[in-house]
């Protein structure tokens, strides 16, 4: 049914929305309009009550619906009249709160059967408790089935059962935040579309790309395994999936309580959450403050963790993990050199950077390392309060494929010793072989000691990570009046071919030889101590 009546919507105080609604009014019958205006930082909500379901389906596709939120922070909610009355009869808290008489800004008087919320608190509360109890009852039924599958070790069935629980939880969250549930079966999409209403949901799901989430992909993988009758071995994530589901359940409980309290109060009494500052910790350290300001200029920096601070004499080293997108080694080195130049010679920085999905995908090898770092006490910056922690594996089985790394480091050391043991005074390639050994030693030592294989960082950063792993190694820096400390900066130069004649003092070569022998011995002892290679002598 069309109408040409021009609606008077001055209460909207938004010309864009007024024009859009008046245009709708020329094509569809609008029965009622409710408007819950934002207070301070909250989003506004505009509810349109229309005559037919088909009208709602058509209007949902219009571009201005998205623009209303992206530019004006106004959520548009569309209902057809019988649907709105049905939800009201069920005691739906979204309808009770957002469609209250004080929010009504337009009503088509020529149309009967308006929604009018005039019941008292006692009547609503009874309906609300029934609404809440239905959720708890059905949720418990679904979850009890999941627990049975866990008991009998039916792994694929556990994932499939959890998918049902997730769908149920997301449907309730959608209803509580938008008044209706999504038509989509794609859980990735449903989580993504909830973000404007409940941004905290992103705390519980690690993204694997722009609009897809790691745990949801595991549920989809279970579906494929069931169809293709394949085994699935990702049961280490049962606990992570359980934690995510508990978090969704908690969000539903909080939202139910929030709506109940808001309905009982007048709109002016609604508490507005304080804005959360992006900088989460104040360490009273001006150097760290400057470092954070520099680091966050990196593209898409999400979080920064200060996981260690070491003092050696007058020198201070800060160890930082940066969670960010697309940070190359070269960009990381540039930031490191810039920080050092700005802070002063006595300060140094070890910068490690990975994106969140890379960390998630490599937990099977590096969980021990990241679990010690990614903690609230270490976080010094976050671009949002809603970044998720990784979904930790539980139980986590340490995976260290050491054989290849150890053989490489050991072989490089032996090759160096073989060359310097040759008495023909040919020093060509000695600095290159030393650099190759030192690089492979540091990465292998860090891998064994910290359960982490760093990217090809600078020699300085790799050595400082070795010191983080074992502070006693500082003794090598004092060997021969700080020979190693002076040598390390030159190793970057020797990584590449320099087509020129090499001439080294015998004393320098002897110092290099002693350091290689000592570091090789340390690596052997560490590997034996960790029980990672029982018979080292068999390796070579």
The answer, yes or no, to whether residue 98 has pLDDT greater than 90, is yes
Q: What is the mean pLDDT of residues 516-526?
A: 90
Rg (CA), the chain: 31
Is residue 424, in this structure, part of any structural domain at all?
yes
Q: Residue 232 belongs to a domain with what CATH number?
A: 1.20.120
- Lowest pLDDT segment from 164-173, 240-249, 528-537: 528-537
- 415 and 519 within one domain: yes
- 324 and 299 within one domain: yes
CA distances from 276 to 195, 270, 299, 383 (A): 17, 18, 21, 10
pLDDT digits (tens, 9 = 90+) for 312-356: 888 999 999 999 988 888 888 888 889 988 888 899 999 999 999
Q: What are phi and psi of 456, to 5 degrees?
A: -80, 75
The answer, yes or no, to whether residue 282 has pLDDT greater than 80, is no
Under 8 Å between Cβ of 497 and 435: no
Is residue 273, in this structure, part of any structural domain at all?
no
Angle at 78 between CA 73 and CA 84, to 5 degrees: 130
Give pLDDT, residue 485. Answer: 83
CA distances from 23 to 20, 32, 317 (A): 5, 15, 63
Strands (E), 20-137: 30-36, 44-50, 74-80, 104-107
Is residue 388, in this structure, part of any structural domain at all?
no
Is residue 7, in this structure, part of any structural domain at all?
no
CA distances from 400 to 67, 103, 236, 413, 466 (A): 50, 61, 17, 21, 18
Supply the pTM of this predicted model. Answer: 0.83
CA distances from 538 to 14, 181, 519, 526 (A): 78, 63, 19, 16
Is residue 85, in this structure, part of any structural domain at all?
yes
- 433 and 502 within one domain: yes
Is residue 274, in this structure, part of any structural domain at all?
no
Mean pLDDT rounded to a whole number for the chain: 86
Tokens of 344: 């002063």
Give pLDDT, residue 66. Answer: 92
- Give Cβ neighbours of residue 156 (< 8 Å, ≥ 6 apart): 222, 225, 226, 232
- 143 and 68 within one domain: no
- 257 and 138 within one domain: yes
Is residue 269, in this structure, part of any structural domain at all?
no
Residue carrying the six token digits 């929030």: 258
Is residue 502, in this structure, part of any structural domain at all?
yes
Continuous H helices in 379-505: 402-420, 430-450, 459-469, 475-478, 483-494
* Owning domain of residue 70: 15-107
DSSP letter, residue 203: G
Q: What is the mean pLDDT of residues 80-109?
A: 93
Cα-Cα-Cα-Cα dihedral sign, residues 284, 289, 291, 295? positive
Domain count, the chain: 4
Nearest C-alpha neighbor of 302 from the set 241, 421, 384: 384
User: Can you list the pairs that 290-293 forms with residues at least 24 positions away whose Cβ atoms lie under 8 Å?
Assistant: 290/339, 290/342, 290/343, 291/318, 291/320, 291/339, 291/343, 291/349, 292/380, 292/381
- 101 and 125 within one domain: no
What gap in Å lies between CA 5 and CA 512, rounded to an integer?
A: 90
Cα 256 to its chain centre, rounded Å, is: 26
pLDDT digits (tens, 9 = 90+) for 379-389: 999 999 999 99
Confidence of residue 277 (pLDDT cuts 50, 70, 90): very low
- Lowest pLDDT segment from 50-54, 82-86, 92-96, 337-341: 337-341
pLDDT digits (tens, 9 = 90+) for 226-273: 777 666 667 788 899 999 999 999 999 999 999 999 998 854 333 333
Given 323, 351, 382, the domain boundary residue is 382
- Lowest pLDDT segment from 24-38, 467-481, 503-517: 503-517
Of 127-136, 261-270, 479-488, give the range with the top mean pLDDT: 127-136
- 442 and 332 within one domain: no
Top pLDDT among 10 and 100 is at: 100
Nearest C-alpha neighbor of 271 from the set 283, 281, 261, 260: 261
């Amino acid at each position: 049914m069309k109408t040409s009546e021009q609606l008077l919507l001055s209460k909207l105080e938004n010309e864009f929305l007024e024009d859009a609604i008046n245009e709708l009014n020329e094509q569809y019958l609008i029965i009622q309009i409710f408007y819950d205006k934002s207070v301070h930082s909250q989003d506004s909500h505009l509810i349109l009550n229309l005559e037919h379901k088909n009208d709602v389906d058509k209007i949902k596709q219009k571009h201005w619906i998205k623009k209303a939120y992206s530019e004006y922070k106004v959520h548009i909610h569309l209902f057809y009249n019988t649907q709105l009355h049905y939800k009201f009869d069920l005691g739906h808290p979204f309808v009770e709160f957002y469609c209250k008489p004080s929010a009504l800004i337009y009503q088509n008087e020529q149309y009967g059967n308006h929604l009018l919320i005039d019941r008292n608190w006692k009547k609503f509360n009874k309906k609300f408790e029934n609404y809440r109890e239905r959720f708890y009852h059905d949720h418990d039924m679904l979850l009890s089935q999941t627990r049975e599958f866990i008991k009998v070790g039916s792994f694929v069935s556990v994932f499939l059962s959890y998918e049902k629980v997730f769908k149920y939880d997301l449907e309730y969250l959608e209803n509580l935040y938008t008044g209706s549930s999504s038509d989509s079966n794609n859980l990735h999409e449903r989580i993504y579309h909830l973000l404007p209403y409940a941004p905290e949901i992103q705390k519980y799901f690690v993204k694997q790309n722009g609009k897809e989430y790691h745990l949801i992909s595991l549920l989809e993988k279970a579906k494929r395994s069931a169809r293709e009758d394949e085994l699935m071995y990702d049961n280490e994530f049962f606990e992570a999936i359980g934690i995510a589901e508990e978090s969704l359940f908690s969000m539903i409980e909080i939202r139910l309580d929030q709506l109940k309290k808001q309905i009982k109060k007048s709109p002016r009494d609604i508490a507005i959450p304080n804005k959360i500052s992006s900088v989460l910790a104040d360490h009273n350290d001006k150097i760290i403050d400057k470092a954070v300001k520099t680091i966050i200029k990196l593209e898409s920096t999400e979080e920064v963790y200060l996981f260690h601070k070491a003092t050696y004499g007058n020198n201070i080293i800060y160890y930082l993990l940066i969670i960010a997108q697309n940070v190359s080694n070269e960009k990381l080195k540039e930031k490191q050199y810039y920080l050092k130049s700005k802070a002063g010679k006595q300060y140094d920085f070890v910068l490690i950077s990975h994106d969140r999905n890379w960390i998630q995908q490599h937990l099977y090898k590096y969980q021990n390392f990241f679990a010690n770092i990614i903690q609230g006490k270490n976080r010094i910056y976050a671009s949002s309060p809603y970044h998720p922690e990784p979904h930790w594996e539980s139980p986590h089985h340490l995976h260290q494929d050491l054989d290849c790394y150890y053989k490489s480091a050991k072989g490089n050391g032996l090759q160096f010793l073989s060359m310097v043991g040759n008495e023909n005074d040919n020093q060509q390639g000695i600095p290159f072989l030393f650099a190759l050994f030192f690089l492979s030693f540091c990465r292998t030592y860090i891998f064994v000691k910290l359960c982490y294989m760093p990217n090809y960082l600078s020699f300085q950063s790799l050595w400082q990570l070795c010191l983080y792993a074992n502070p006693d190694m500082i003794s090598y820096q004092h060997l021969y009046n700080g020979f190693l400390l002076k040598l390390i900066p030159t190793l970057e130069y020797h990584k590449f071919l320099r087509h020129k004649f090499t001439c080294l003092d015998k004393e320098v070569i002897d110092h290099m030889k002693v350091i290689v022998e000592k570091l090789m011995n340390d690596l052997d002892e560490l590997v034996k101590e960790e029980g990672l290679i029982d018979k080292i002598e068999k390796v070579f």
